[in-house]
Amino acid sequence: MPDRTVTHSPAPTVERPDQLRNVVLVGASGAGKTTLAESLALTAGALTRAGSVPDGTTVGDHEEIEHQQQRSVQLSLIPLAWRDTKINLLDAPGYADFAGELQAALRAAEAALFVISATEPVGPAVLALWRQCADAGLPRAVVLTHLNAARVRLDETLTALRADLADGRTDTLLPLHHYTLTDGHLTGSVELLTGTRRGDPGDSGDLTAERSLLAEAIAGEDDTLLERYLAGEELDTGALTAALRRELRQDTLHPVLATAPPAEPGGPAPGAEELLDLIAAAFPSPLERADDLPACDADAPLAAQVIHTGEDPYVGRLSLTRVFSGTLRPDTTVGLPGRPDERITGLSCPFGRQQRPVGQGTAGDIVCVAKLAGARTGDTLTTGPDVLPPWPLPESLLPVAVEAHSKADEDRLSQSLAKLAAQDPALLVEQNPDTHQLVLWCTGEAHQAVALDRLRSRYGVHVDAVPYRVALRETFGSRAEGHGRHVKQSGGHGQYAICDLTVEPLPGGGFEFVDHVVGGSVPRNFIPSVEKGVRAQLAHGVLAGYPVTDIRVTLTDGKAHSVDSSDAAFQTAAALALKEAAGQAKVQLLEPVDEVQVMLPDEYQGAVLSDLSARRGHVLGTEPCGPGLSLVRAEVPEIELTHYPVDLRSLSHGTGSFSRSYLRHAPMPAAVAARYEKAS
């Protein structure tokens, strides 16, 4: 990517919320969101090829792994000043593994700009997000990229867009300009309503039909405005802008624009100025937010939310924060839910790796707060009663077990993981009590790679991924008896204990110990020792080293010595008796079975059902759960779900999601159990 560096211009500032526009860039990975953000920054004067700063900062503070994977993995903010307006562009990752970052951006924005490649159809994941934004009432516009690709025809692209996003309707997804492509380059445009020509649009032909369709859509229910236009009256820009803003807010019009890379290095990007004009003039301000979050009032108590947490090698933790109400000022003490209050020190406006100081964060703005040691992504910073709800996060269902590479890494691992989890709420860290493995639960393979890379690059901690182990159990499949004899004499006090046990299956009953001794053959004070020895052996297993469960153990007889019997001796005898019983019985492996619910479009239901059956799953049923959507309920062994998040994404083309919860342990088929008995 060409080196475009940040100018030394001060951070854009505003005094009133109505001067702000918070816009999230939405699109599939590779659609060109970051390239578009750079084009807009160049046009707005925030970037220049001529200027330079020591670290060569670009619009995104990219991590090493982002360059390796050629995609964004974290939310970044690009603040621009344009025509007395501050535009906060939120560039969110387009890859499904980082949907949590996108959801954070949707929380912070008042409008969404869908960045769609003219060479690719709208994918199912982008279509699902379009519908999600519609349900939330979030105004949307579309910007087309990659117009310089071979064989792109704008009319065909627009028809395909309408089919995907507007059910084929021609009155909601409308271009604001007529664009001219010459030899694969966007050379000019004509603004349909005003006739303003930019660049070299050439002979644009008769645009009457396009103008009329757009005018009718913008006028909406304003019959007077429509009649004035149809009568040939030249409408003023203010009236058209007000009508366009209204239709955007009412979700009845979604403007379509187009951009292209600059024809010459450092030159203007065709279409960028028109897009900035649209955002500044017609996109809603924070005052027009339509959800249940606190109203945008600079004089109200502070209610702000951390939407992203990063690390700076010199400053430390940086909390990107959206101010919903009130004003965020340095030296203010803010409350954090469930944690000690903290004092705000410096505020800044981020741009790539630069942090440009600002005096305050007014209601509606997005600023960076330094050194909030206790704040995590999603936390509310408040001086009042409001605690903002978290945004929806993808479930982290892909496990990777890790071990510290060295003793030095082990010493730093716990603290580093705590910092990482505070920054990334989609990353769950678990110390599994059954397998004693340290497990990182991620949303997908890319998320997994990023988490491990951040451990290494940010904190210098190296870990090794090891096979993830599922918490298996053992049980007795039949009744058996065992005799345990522990008798030793080696001078002084010896060791003497004998006990007889009967073991019976107890499906679903856990563990039950029964004392059935008669005649005092085992003294009462040693009976707890027998139970303790049984429990210790159950924890170590009797077949393949897995804990034993779902059995009843009955102490039926035994012998003791007046001098040599002891607590330790009876514990040992009990363990020996249990192991002897296991040798006489059929010992089974039990595997955890999860209840699984899969949400997916109807068209992928057949493939998913077949896949669940191949995973030894038992499908309980399917039911409709929305237009074109189905919910599949099934019981599936946990062993078969280890890689399921990745496989389901492939089967459903990124549109399926699932949840799981532990149901029970059930006998494992002999053919499968043989592999785990051998491995142990």
DSSP-derived secondary structure letter, 546: P
CA distance 406 to 465: 13
With helix as H, strand as E and coil as C, how does 358-396 read? Answer: CCCECCCCEEEEECCCCCCCCCEEECCCCCCCCCCCCCC
Task: Say whether both 72 and 160 belong to one domain.
Answer: yes
Task: Say whether both 171 and 236 belong to one domain.
Answer: yes
Q: Among the three residues 569, 585, 601, which one is the final residue of a domain in this structure?
A: 585
- In DSSP terms, 328 is beta-bridged to 361
In a domain, 391, yes or no: no
Task: Say whether both 451 and 485 belong to one domain.
Answer: no
pLDDT of residue 4 exceeding 50: no
CA distance 343 to 611: 53
Q: Are strands 5-6 and 173-175 parallel, antiparallel or unpaired?
A: unpaired
Give the domain CATH number at 613: 3.30.70.240
In a domain, 463, yes or no: no
Task: Say whether both 488 and 370 belong to one domain.
Answer: no
**Residue among 497, 477, 475 nearest 486 (CA):** 497
Task: Say whether both 239 and 106 belong to one domain.
Answer: yes
Are 363 and 324 within 8 A, CB to CB? Answer: yes
pLDDT of residue 70 exceeding 80: no
Amino acid identity at 85 = T
Which residues does 200 contact at the CB level (< 8 Å), separation at least 6?
180, 182, 187, 188
* pLDDT tens profile 72-113: 778 999 999 999 999 999 998 888 889 899 999 999 999 999
Residue 152 has phi, psi (to 5 degrees) of -80, 125
Give the per-residue pLDDT at 150: 67
Give the per-residue pLDDT at 491: 66
Give the domain CATH number at 272: 3.40.50.300
- In DSSP terms, 647 is beta-bridged to none
CA distance 658 to 640: 14
Share of the chain above pLDDT 90, in %: 61
In a domain, 388, yes or no: no
Give the per-residue pLDDT at 558: 96
pLDDT of residue 352 exceeding 80: no
Mean pLDDT score, 156-178: 90
**What total number of domains does the chain contain?**
5
- In DSSP terms, 320 is beta-bridged to 308, 368
Separation in Å, CA 516 to CA 204, 220, 499, 509, 576: 99, 86, 12, 19, 19
Q: How many residues does the chain have?
A: 680
The token pair at 418 is 């705590």
pLDDT of residue 50 exceeding 50: no
In a domain, 660, yes or no: yes
Task: Say whether both 272 and 340 belong to one domain.
Answer: no
Confidence of residue 366 (pLDDT cuts 50, 70, 90): very high
DSSP-derived secondary structure letter, 96: G
* Dihedral angle, C-alpha 57, 60, 63, 64, nearest 10 °: -70
Confidence of residue 469 (pLDDT cuts 50, 70, 90): very high
Confidence of residue 124 (pLDDT cuts 50, 70, 90): confident
Give the per-residue pLDDT at 490: 72
The interaxial angle of helices 223-230 and 208-219, nearest 10 deg, is: 160
Confidence of residue 356 (pLDDT cuts 50, 70, 90): confident
Give the per-residue pLDDT at 464: 97
Which residues does 22 contact at the CB level (< 8 Å), separation at least 6?
88, 90, 108, 109, 110, 111, 286, 322, 364, 366
In a domain, 390, yes or no: no
Residue 467 has phi, psi (to 5 degrees) of -55, 135
User: Lowest-confidence range among 99-113, 188-202, 570-584?
Assistant: 188-202
CA distance 499 to 560: 9
Strands annotated E in 234-276:
254-258
pLDDT of residue 555 exceeding 80: yes
The token pair at 613 is 């059956």
In a domain, 297, yes or no: no
Mean pLDDT score, 228-238: 77
CA distance 566 to 578: 19
Residue 259 has phi, psi (to 5 degrees) of -135, 165
Region for 398 from its dihedrals, namely left if φ exceeds 0, alpha if ψ lies in -120 to 50, beta otherwise: beta
* Residue bearing tokens 């599939």: 28
Mean pLDDT of the chain: 89
Region for 202 from its dihedrals, namely left if φ exceeds 0, alpha if ψ lies in -120 to 50, beta otherwise: left
Q: Among the three residues 261, 288, 315, which one is the final residue of a domain in this structure?
A: 288
* pLDDT tens profile 239-257: 888 888 999 988 889 999 9
Give the per-residue pLDDT at 268: 75
Give the per-residue pLDDT at 201: 87
In a domain, 53, yes or no: yes
**Residue among 468, 510, 505 nearest 638 (CA):** 468
CA distance 600 to 609: 11
Give the per-residue pLDDT at 242: 87
Whole-angstrom distance between the N-terminal and C-terminal Cα of the chain? 51
CA distance 215 to 396: 47
CA gyration radius for the chain?
33
pLDDT of residue 411 exceeding 90: yes
Give the per-residue pLDDT at 665: 94
CA distance 348 to 360: 8
- In DSSP terms, 465 is beta-bridged to 402
**String of b and e for 564-592 (b: at least 16 CB within 10 Å)?**
bbbeebbbbbbbbbbbbbbeebebbbbbb
* Residue bearing tokens 């578009």: 36
Give the domain CATH number at 362: 2.40.30.10
**Residue among 316, 320, 374 nearest 343 (CA):** 374
In a domain, 11, yes or no: no
Are 261 and 35 within 8 A, CB to CB? Answer: yes
Task: Say whether both 406 and 272 belong to one domain.
Answer: no
pLDDT of residue 205 exceeding 50: yes
Task: Say whether both 100 and 182 belong to one domain.
Answer: yes
Task: Say whether both 281 and 325 belong to one domain.
Answer: no
The CB-side HSE value for 477 (13 A sphere, CA atoms) comes to 13
Residue 470 has phi, psi (to 5 degrees) of -90, 145
- In DSSP terms, 631 is beta-bridged to 599, 623
Task: Say whether both 487 and 425 belong to one domain.
Answer: no
Give the domain CATH number at 442: 3.30.70.870
Q: Among the three residues 288, 318, 348, which one is the final residue of a domain in this structure?
A: 288
CB atoms within 10 A of CB 81: 19
Give the domain CATH number at 478: 3.30.230.10
Task: Report how far Cα 443 is from the mean position of its chain's Cα atoms.
Answer: 6
Are 656 and 604 within 8 A, CB to CB? Answer: yes
Within 381-502, where are the H helices?
407-423, 445-459
Task: Say whether both 48 and 158 belong to one domain.
Answer: yes
Give the per-residue pLDDT at 66: 56
Share of the chain above pLDDT 70, in %: 94
Task: Say whether both 481 and 514 belong to one domain.
Answer: yes
Range of the domain at 323: 303-382
The token pair at 517 is 């001794």
Give the max Cα distance, the chain.
Answer: 118
CB atoms within 10 A of CB 504: 17
Give the per-residue pLDDT at 679: 59
Residue 370 has phi, psi (to 5 degrees) of -90, 145
Give the per-residue pLDDT at 84: 92
Residue 128 has phi, psi (to 5 degrees) of -65, -40
Give the per-residue pLDDT at 51: 35
Which residues does 562 contact at the CB level (< 8 Å), separation at least 6?
none
Number of helical H runs and strand E runs in the chain: 16, 33
User: Lowest-confidence range among 311-315, 340-344, 546-550?
Assistant: 311-315
pLDDT of residue 524 exceeding 50: yes
Q: In what helix (H) or strand (E) does residue 192 lie, and over which residues does it extend?
A: none
pLDDT of residue 628 exceeding 70: yes
* pLDDT tens profile 417-450: 999 998 899 999 999 999 999 999 999 999 999 9
